[in-house]
Structure 1
Amino acid sequence: MKNPKVSIIITCYNDPDIIKAVESAANQTYSSKEIIVIDDGSNDEIKDLIANLKENVDLIITQENKGQSKARNNAIKSSSGEFILNLDSDDYFESSFAEKAVKKLIENKDYKVITCKARRFDKNGTIDIFTPSGGRIDSFLFSNAALGSSMFRKIDWERVGGYEEELPILGFEDWDFYIKILKEAGSAFVLNEVLFNYQVRPGNTTSRIRNQRVTKFKLIVKNHPELYREHHVALVGHLFKRLKRAEEEKNRRENSFDYQLGNKILMPFRSLKRILWNKK
């Protein structure tokens, strides 16, 4: 029986690190694969760099800058593989990931997404090891439980209509996509190995969305209203838990020595301000 093909989709926007990403795709021990690079409106220097990678790339697609979701969807439309593996241009996989992920998808039809442990690193080296929780839809209600770069079946991508292109959910496209895949059935399986390397850089998507988590979660809920109505008890519990954490943090801050000292220092100035205001 012929091994199913894996289409490795690498999206790039003005990123010279794409060389490492393409190398990691080409070095996958799983032989039945194709590598597709989609250039999402990069400058001429990066376009030339991508062109020079053609020996290790089966297809290069160029488009105007339209964002990661549209880039991924366009590349997947042009793919011929049964399985899809997304990869951002500044990250890379260990060589055995595709082989091990395909094995799991073949073994168990219930698995819809295959992910793994990740080494987070920056220019100074390893930061930490991150382990996504995986699991069924319950695990994805309040946070993404799989890496953005994971493997899934193309038929599932087709079934749910691909990645969301219209909602302003920068950096949450993967989470939204996995919810669409898993909300009817299936689970995400986590390979118990560090097979992915995620680069943490100032200005990358994760850095830019860190302070927008509440807004983004609100958009996720609005995009899947029937799901969160079904799990309304869990949603209410989650929101009250967040409120409790915020209240505890506020109390810790107000009871801290620095806060109390600052209050004492500022008290005379506040009293003077009230006096002057009442005289007006």
Structure 2
Amino acid sequence: MKVSVIIPVYNVVDYVDRCISSVVSQTHNDLEVIIVDDGSIDGSRQKCEAWIQKDDRIILITQENQGVSVARNKGLEMASGDFIAFVDGDDYLDSMYIESMLEPFSEDVNVEIVFCGYRYDDNGIVSEYGFFEKDCVFDRNDSEKLISRAIGVYDNNIKRKTHIGTPWAKIYKTCFIKENHIFFEPGMPRMQDLIFNIKCFKLLSKGIYINKSLYTYVRRPESTANNYNAKYELDAVQIIDCLNEVTEGLSEKVNEAVKYKAVLLLIEAIRLKYSKKECKLSLLEKRKEISKMSKTEPFESALSHNYCFVSNSFGRNLFLMFMKLRMYLLAYVLVIIKYKGK
């Protein structure tokens, strides 16, 4: 069983050697390693070129910077394996990652996606997390449960750092992806992963979750996900519009999950626009801007909605309460405290 491992790379010079080494050192040898360098300017491409000389299973594609969606789509176009795995260029794998993830496919030909738990590496401090509490089998009846989880609605007893909408910690059957014309949205400013996996979960006939932490996600302080973003609320509007489009016709539970996602994006907008040192507005000006933002869609309807579930996050519940009561400065201070140093 041949696996195409797609690695998008962009300015991860301090991490990419470890990433590639963990892939080529897998106990499962039948690999096609497709590295797509997305216009790196820090020496990452040169490191990838050196790996081509060491291992003939590696293919390197270079392109001008067009974003991770275009890079992954290039990899999908090139992939000739029976299965596809995505690995981010700063992350790394357990040596038995692919071997362990292929076992369910060999046992049942109807399986289309296998995913597993993960480790979270925060500056060398590594913790283990899972998407579910135990091994699970999913069928068509579970698609909306998976979609709601991916969007951001979680069971209260799940300890996690991210959601199941990531393309990593998963192996996909290639024919499932290509025959259903599933790809990453190149025009999305962020959360392309989430949209990609919602498309997958909508069509999924059978999926398997292995409750083992076999993939390590590395948190980088310099990641663009943590940078100042003056137009984040515009990005959020585009994300919610895309989520509404891809979940059209699904249940009220999923619709509610999309509304709640708008609340989470509002928190991110405050964090990335108003709580960063690059923002030169006064405290009162920030309050005014947050108030104005809360009265625009999709945030207004998300804040006015009475949710049928209770979040496991005290901070999120408190933020929602402050925003509903128009206590905008308290909501702002809460975001500052919660994300201090991030």
Measured against the shorter chain, the TM-score band is 0.7 to 0.9
User: What is the CA distance between 1:44 and its match in structure 2?
Assistant: 6.5
Please give the alpha-carbon distance, in whole angstroms, between the structure 2 residues aligned to 1:167 and 1:30: 35
Q: 1:116 to 1:58 in 2, by over 3 A?
A: same
Question: Contact 2:112 / 2:173 at 8 angstroms: preserved in 1?
Answer: yes
What's the TM-score once normalised by structure 2's chain length?
Answer: 0.64
Q: 1:137 pairs with 138, 143, 148, which one?
A: 143
Please give the alpha-carbon distance, in whole angstroms, between the structure 1 residues aligned to 2:193 and 2:228: 14
- Name the amino acid aligned to 2:128: I
Pairing 1:125–2:107 present: no
Pairing 1:223–2:223 present: no
Where do 5+ consecutive residues of structure 1 fail to align?
A: 260-280
What's the TM-score once normalised by structure 1's chain length?
Answer: 0.76
Deviates more, 1:130-139 or 1:197-206: 130-139
User: What is the CA distance between 1:103 and its match in structure 2?
Assistant: 1.3
User: What is the CA distance between 1:79 and its match in structure 2?
Assistant: 2.1
Q: Percent identity?
A: 22
- Name the amino acid aligned to 2:7: I
Pairing 1:204–2:223 present: yes
Question: Contact 1:146 / 1:188 at 8 angstroms: preserved in 2?
Answer: no
Where do 5+ consecutive residues of structure 2 fail to align?
A: 153-162, 260-305, 311-316, 331-342
Please give the alpha-carbon distance, in whole angstroms, between the structure 2 residues aligned to 1:237 and 1:59: 39
Deviates more, 1:81-90 or 1:149-158: 149-158
Pairing 1:115–2:135 present: no
User: What is the CA distance between 1:108 and its match in structure 2?
Assistant: 2.8
Match of 1:241 in 2: 307
Match of 1:270 in 2: none
Match of 2:17 in 1: 19
Q: 1:158 pairs with 148, 155, 178, which one?
A: 178
Q: 2:211 pairs with 192, 207, 213, which one?
A: 192
Question: Contact 2:67 / 2:186 at 8 angstroms: preserved in 1?
Answer: no
- Name the amino acid aligned to 2:6: I
String of CA shifts for 1:174-221, please: whole Å, max 9, x gaps. 221122122133244221111011101124255459976954651342
User: What is the CA distance between 1:49 and its match in structure 2?
Assistant: 1.6
Please give the alpha-carbon distance, in whole angstroms, between the structure 2 residues aligned to 1:52 and 1:112: 34
- Name the amino acid aligned to 2:130: T
Pairing 1:178–2:197 present: yes
Pairing 1:48–2:46 present: yes
User: What is the CA distance between 1:122 and its match in structure 2?
Assistant: 2.0
- Name the amino acid aligned to 1:108: D
Alignment of 1:65-104 (within 5 A): 65-104=65-104
Q: How many residues are treated as equivalent by the alignment?
A: 249
Q: What CA RMSD, in Å, does the superposition of the two structures yield over aligned residues? A: 3.2
User: What is the CA distance between 1:81 and its match in structure 2?
Assistant: 0.5
Please give the alpha-carbon distance, in whole angstroms, between the structure 2 residues aligned to 1:11 and 1:209: 23
